Structures are given as C-alpha cells and as structure tokens.
Structure 1
Amino acid sequence: MGTKRPSGRRYPEDEREMRAARSTSERRRLALEEKRRAKKKKRRRRIGILVAEVIILSVLCVFAYATVKMDKLDFNFLDEDKLEVYKDTGPYTNIALFGLDAREGESIESGVRSDSMMIASINNETNEVKVVSIFRDTLLKQQDGTFDKANAAYSYGGPQEAIALLNRNLDLDIKNYMSVDFKALSDVIDALGGMELELTAEEVVHMNNYCVETSEVTGKDYERIEPEVAGTYHLNGVQATSYARIRATAGGDYKRAERQRLVIEKIVEKAQKANLKTLDKIIDVVFPQVSTSFSSKDLIGIAANALSYQLGETQGFPYSIADTDVVDGYEGSYVVPSDFDGDVKKLHEFLFNEKDYQVSDTVKEISHEIDVMSGAIVEDGYTDEYGTDEGYSEEPYGGYESDGYETDVYESENYEGSY
C-alpha cells in the first residue's frame, strides 16, 4: 500500500505533472486559436469576394434596370449639323431645358411655344451646375434671319430649331435637350411630397387663379389657399407649378423666370435626399412625359454623378433691358437687350469663367441689328417721323414712368399701351 500524502502538500512529481498539463493545455489553446484565426481569415476572404461579386452584380443590375426604365423616355435624336454649334466649351456639358405649354393632344416635340427656356451647364470637373433662364420674350434672331421672341423657335421647328437659336445667338455648343410639360412638373413635385415656398399675398392670389387652368391641363387636384395672405405654404404639384407660371406681378417674365429657378432648386434638393422607392416612382410616372435627345448611355453617365451634383448660382438672360419693349415693324411686347454683345460676354463669364471672352461676328451683327430695330442707334440716312436723326432717344410724349424692371411705359392722351 502506498503512503497517504498529507492534504494540501505538493511533491516534486506533482509539480512536473501540473506543468506538463498546463503546457499541453496551452499548446492546444494556441492551436485552436490559430485554427480559428485561419477560419476567420478564410471567411473574410469569402465575404470580401462575395461583397465584390454583389457590388459588380448590383452595378450590372442597375445598368440593366436603368436601360429598361430608359425605354419609357421619348427619344428624339437631332441632326447635329443643323444645331449651329459654335465652339467647344471645354469641360462643360450644356443642356437646353424646355418647359412647354402643351395641352391635351399636342406634341411636346413641335408646334407649341416653350413656356420656359433654360440652359443647364454642368462643370464635369467640379460637378457644379449653373442654370440660366432665357426670358421667353427676348428678341432673338431666328433661323430664317428674321427676329422674333425666343420661345417662337420651338413652335417653328421643335427642339432642334430652339437649340440652334440658343447656339446662334449666344455662341454656345448645346447638342442635347430635355422637354417636359405642365403635368410632368406637377407629377415630380407630388412624388417628392410637395415643397415649402414663401409667398407674398399677391402671389397667393395669382397662384390660386393659375391653379384652375393648371388643374384642368394636368387632371390633378389642388386646394385653394384661403385666406389669401402672405406666408410659407406647403404646395402640391398643381400649386407649385402654378406658382412657377405667375407673371402678373411686378417684374413680369423676369420674376417668373426667378420663380421657375427656385422651384427647380427645391426639386433638386428633395430629389437628392429621396429614397430609391420615390425615385422609382418618379421614373415610372415622369419618364413617359419627357422628350430628350440624349441616348440611354449618355443619361446613365449623367445619372451616375447625380448625387454629387451641386446646384450653383442661377441667373436670367438678358442682363440689360432697353427702355422700350416695342420694336419697329413688329407687333407685341418684347424683351429687348440694350447691350446684347455685352450680355453674351457676361453669360460666358458666368457659365464658363471666361473673363475676356470675345463674341463671334454673328453675335456682333445680331447686337447691331437689335440696336437698330429698338432705335438705340440710327443707321446712316435714317430720319424718324419727328424729323430728327436720333432714332427714339427723344421723349415725344413728355416722359415716362418706370415699373422698376427697366421696361418703360410712355404716356399720352392720344395713345394706349406700351411704346
């Protein structure tokens, strides 16, 4: 029989066994940890490959999905040789945007005047987007050499002639466009949940009035704002579209163009924050109402950077307005530039940072013709009906009153209207 060891006492052989046991346990633990690390590393590689595959598949699916959705657009490819492209503006993509006063049964590709005309210029190096409104009543040179309101070109020859008008008169290189009508704008705004706008009491009154027709054209509902007082309101599609159509307040078409740019800014802000479900709804509802010359590939390229675009400053053209809105030999009221070639220089400085831009001979000629028609200058041998050779620099009716927006109304007991 062995000798019983006193409790709690350790002997040398016990220490050796315990050290051996600890060493074996440690080796096993280390081996297990190494095995687990290897499994984790292998699993991470698998996850990394899976994520890469998902990303690639997602990109391919988005491309395929976008291609299918793009088929909803009304593609209208233009003859570039007839666009009168002046010169390449470098790292800028310039797009003509047309808002049309198209009614039921009317095509948005021709036969109607453009209610609004804008140039969106994308700086492809900085992703900044600048927007210029072309006042629709601006006196510009048409394709046949005559002068008419800017928005007449669309009704004469659709977007192709309207783009040519912008390139011809403004030394631009626009090659593509997008056109929408009232309903498309209202649908986009509704899909984004409406927008908050601050209105004057006068704007509320006119917006309520415009809503009647806008509702009829779009087939969409709205609620009148009552009482008609100034304030910040949440507007739906019909209301915001009607707000963008107001031209009866002080500033007329100039102020309307400003309202239109504000509405676009609001749309861009909300669209960049919208979820995929909302954007998908916009695509389904709005794309069938859009006419464009872009190819699917071009649009996907633009859309790829959509979230990084930053809407910069917006302006209205022309910058200088003559003291008359009546043009010799023409009927109706026009926006007449008083320094057309100077305004084109300012436009290029604003859009492309060209501080010393020299306008083309075409623009110089157009500027001269506008000055002659408006009476700003008198060609040799010309005498006006008052027996002077100063054109309309005199004030035959004893002065004028200004409405604050450089459009002058001459007063006479023998004449009515603007002269």
Structure 2
Amino acid sequence: MARNTGKKVRRRGRRRKRGFATWSIGKKIGAVLGGTLLGVVVIGSVILASKMNKLSSVKLDTDKLNISDEVKHEKGYTNVALFGLDSRENDLGKGNRSDTIIIASLNNDTKEVKLVSIYRDTLLELDDGSYNKANSAYSFGGPEGAVSLINRNLDMNIEKYVTVNFNALVDVIDAVGGLDLELTHDEVVHMNNYCVETSKVTGKSYEKIEPEVEGTYHLNGVQAVSYSRIRYTEGGDFKRAERQRLVLQKIADKAQNMSVGTVNKIIDSVFPQISTNFTLAEMIGYAKNLTKYKLGDSIGFPAENTTDMLNEVGSVVIPKTLSSNVLEVHKFLFGSDGYSVSSTIEGIESGITAKASDKAKSGTTIEDDETPGSKGYSENYSNNSSGTGTTRSTYGTTGGSTYGTGSYGTSNGYSGGTSTGSGTTGSTGSTSSGTTGTTGGTEGATTGGGTTGDNAGSTSGTTGLTEGTE
C-alpha cells in the first residue's frame, strides 16, 4: 500500500508563447514577405546607388520648359516625357531626332500609368517659333527643347524626362526572357528586314523567321525591337506607335516579377544608354512601389489628323485642330476637369494652318529623315492632288494605307499607279504590286518601282520607295 507523504507533486507546464510564436499564420507570412520585400528594396537601393555613375544626367532649366501659367494643372499626377533615340554612337544629346515620343502620366493615388504617343511627324511649333516635325525638337534642343515642345503644344507641365537609346531595349527584352507577340505576314517580312540593321548595330544575334507567315512568335530582343520599328505597313507611323506601346506593355508585365539579379543585369547594360534628370532619391522612391504600378490605357496624338507633304519639312501629320486634340489628351489623362485650352494653343493652331498651306511642289526633292538603310534619302515627289492621302508617306486620316504614288502592295512594296493618293490616277503602271529588287540591303532596292503610268489629270510620282535594309 502506497504511503501518502503529504507532499504536493509539481507538474511542469508548457511555457507561455511570446513574441513571433504567438502570431497567427497570416501574420507570420506577412512578416516574412514584408521582410523579404524590405530586403529587396534595400538591396535594390544599394544597387541603384552604386550604378548612378553609369547614367547620363542633364539638368533642365524649368524656366525654359514652357509650362503655362494660364493652365490650372492637375495635382496628384507625375508626368514624364519618354524619348527613344536610334543612336548608333550612343549619343543621347542634341543632333538626334527622337524616334519615339511618349507622355507617361502616373496617377500617384491609383498607381495607374497612362501613355500618350506623339506621332514623330506631327507638325508642331518649336521654341524658336518655327513649325516642324515633333521629332526635330530633340535634334535642335536636346531633352530640354523636346520637353518644352510637349508643354508648349499640349498645355502640359512636364519637368522630368527619360531618354533611352532604343537599341538598349534589346538587352532589357533578352533579360526578361523575350516577348510573345502576334505578327501579320507583312510584319514578319519587315521585322526580318529590320533585324539585319538592329543586329548589326547592337552586335546581338537573332534567327530569321521562316517561312514568313502570320502567327504568334516568341521574339528575342533584336526581333522585338525590330518589330517596334516597323513603319512601312498599313497604318504607317500610327501603327508603329501602337507596336511600341505594346512592346512597353509586355516589358512592364514581365518587370513585375523580375528578380534582383535580373534588375542588376539590366541596370549594367541599360544605364549607360539612358539619360534622365531623375535623382537617385526619386528613383529609389519609385522603385519601392514598382509592384504596385499598373500600365493602363494608351492613345496616339493627334487622334484626329490629316497628312501631307510640305515644302522644306517633308511628310507631316497635321492635327485637324490642335485645340480639339489637346482637349482629348487632357480628358484621357485627367478626366473631365473643366480644362480649356490656353491662348498659346489657339495661337499655335493658327500657325499650323498657315504652315500646312505651304505644300511641296511637283518635282520637289524631299529628304526622308528615316528611310531604313540610308541616311538623308531623297526622292522626287509629286503633289498634284487635293485632300488627304496625297503623299508617298500618307497614312490616311485614320491611319489608312495610302502612300501617295501607290497604295501598299501585296508583295512588300508600293503598287504603281493604283492609288488615288496623288490625284486621279491613269492607267496602271509597269508594276502593280511591288517586286523585290536586287540592291539596297536585304529586301532590295525599289519595291513597287517604275513609272506609274499615264495620268489624264496629273502625273503622280515617278518611282516607288527604296526600302533598303529596313
């Protein structure tokens, strides 16, 4: 029989949980993820700081940016000018025409970014009061002159800019693993042609797509950049701007999931090809919210337009009215905020009308500032018709396919004598659907060339366009 000694037996209980151990599963996961994100941000900040010397920085004089005091600018938005240059020597200053001109508007509350592509050939007023293509502003005045042009002609208040050598996107696209894009037959053909030049300039390789048929393709950097540069298909520069926005959208989607290693790799290759006036602190601030940003809708400017060939300027996109197009941009970016155009816009609108009346004469030699495979390419031009669709580079009032001396052919060229783009066309010329020549680069020299035939009303242009290497 067991004895009862009267002593109490103490049983050791479980220790009370304290600190991290008492947190719920959800809170623990949140803490781990938050700590990881904080680590990524800190590492990213260190990386940015260590790479800043690779960036080209140009300070802009805000007094010369033409920000109108007449306009009540919306608060809560950060508006940035994005410029894409095709610079072989990686020179990002004056002397380079901006192949891409985009307004990126960030809603600081919703983190939504909207894009407005300004067509490079748009007839606008420069700082010196002259009227020229929008892309000439960068050539004459560098980033300061280009930002000033946007503010002056669109009643914007942009102070920040980022300029990228467009070929730098080759490295970015390769770093994120390439892009999946749906291409038409014509886009495949022209992309293959542009790849020759893009590969030569960047030193990067690619595989030609064969057979050249429409479909969805996984493109590497050389191919995707070449795709975004295509101009000579139906829609011309209008369609090219759409392609550029699509490529940026695809890159932005992939950027949401980039690792620190990928970011570091991109910075090393891309920073030397970027010019900006963002400070390190500003870039780190935006980098912290990178995963919160979302790319919203995009539009082209001017949405309502005509096209023509002007004396001393060349092929241009003309806003039907500058006021209505600027109103549309402000409504798109900022909603219906009661904005009305400034007197500056009204004055520029009158100047555009006057300049647009100075049409190129028949037989005038016009320099095309962007003919693939050549520099300062010239061709004879005949401007004998009325209305839109009058020039070699005419896209039609809504981005159509009329190219002056012939509508865009089915064999990558310009059909001879079949378009209404240059007056009333007579009998069909010697070439009806662009054929491939033997010189001028990969695709050949004159596609759809030859005299366009007799014309009872007036003589349309003399030759097709030399496509060169594209």
Fold similarity call, TM over 0.5: yes
Of 18, 23, 41, the match for 1:41: 18
2:128 partner amino acid: D
Q: Deviations over 1:101-146 (max 9, x none)?
A: 1112x51122110011101000001100001100000000011101
Closer, same or farther: CA 199–299 of 1 in aligned 2, 3 Å: same
> Mapping of 1:18-417 within 5 angstroms?
23-24=8-9, 27-30=10-13, 33=14, 36-37=15-16, 40-41=17-18, 62-86=44-68, 88-104=73-89, 107-322=91-306, 324-327=307-310, 329-375=311-357, 397=385, 405-406=397-398, 409-412=421-424, 413=455, 414-417=458-461
2:226 partner amino acid: S
The answer as to whether partners of 1:182 and 1:214 remain within 8 angstroms in 2 is: no
Within 2, Cα distance between the matches of 1:151 and 1:374?
17
Higher relative contact order (CA 8 A, sep 6+): 1
Within 2, Cα distance between the matches of 1:210 and 1:405?
26
Within 1, Cα distance between the matches of 2:342 and 2:190?
42
Q: Deviations over 1:223-262 (max 9, x none)?
A: 1000000010000000000000001001100000000000
Q: Deviations over 1:156-179 (max 9, x none)?
A: 011010000000000001111111
The answer as to whether partners of 1:129 and 1:311 remain within 8 angstroms in 2 is: yes
Give the aligned partner of residue 379 of structure 1.
none
2:460 partner amino acid: E
The answer as to whether partners of 2:304 and 2:397 remain within 8 angstroms in 1 is: no
- Structure label with greater radius of gyration: 1
Indicate the larger mover: 350-359 or 217-226: 350-359
In structure 1, stretches of 5+ residues that fail to align are: 1-9, 377-394
Larger helix fraction of residues: 1
Within 1, Cα distance between the matches of 2:123 and 2:384?
24
Q: How many positions carry a matched residue from both structures?
A: 371
Closer, same or farther: CA 399–332 of 1 in aligned 2, 3 Å: closer
Cα shift at 1:305? 1.2
Closer, same or farther: CA 361–272 of 1 in aligned 2, 3 Å: same
Closer, same or farther: CA 258–152 of 1 in aligned 2, 3 Å: same
Cα shift at 1:58? 7.1
Tell me, what secondary structure is at the counterpart of 2:256? helix
Within 2, Cα distance between the matches of 1:75 and 1:400?
42
The answer as to whether partners of 1:182 and 1:217 remain within 8 angstroms in 2 is: no
Tell me, what secondary structure is at the counterpart of 2:99? strand
The answer as to whether partners of 1:251 and 1:405 remain within 8 angstroms in 2 is: no
The answer as to whether partners of 1:89 and 1:172 remain within 8 angstroms in 2 is: no
Cα shift at 1:43? 7.7
1:411 partner amino acid: G
TM-score w.r.t. the length of structure 2 is 0.73
Within 1, Cα distance between the matches of 2:290 and 2:86?
27
Tell me, what secondary structure is at the counterpart of 1:335? strand
Indicate the larger mover: 282-291 or 114-123: 282-291
In structure 2, stretches of 5+ residues that fail to align are: 23-27, 359-382, 403-420, 425-454, 463-470
Tell me, what secondary structure is at the counterpart of 1:125? coil
Cα shift at 1:201? 0.6
The answer as to whether partners of 2:384 and 2:423 remain within 8 angstroms in 1 is: no
Closer, same or farther: CA 260–62 of 1 in aligned 2, 3 Å: closer
Cα shift at 1:182? 3.0
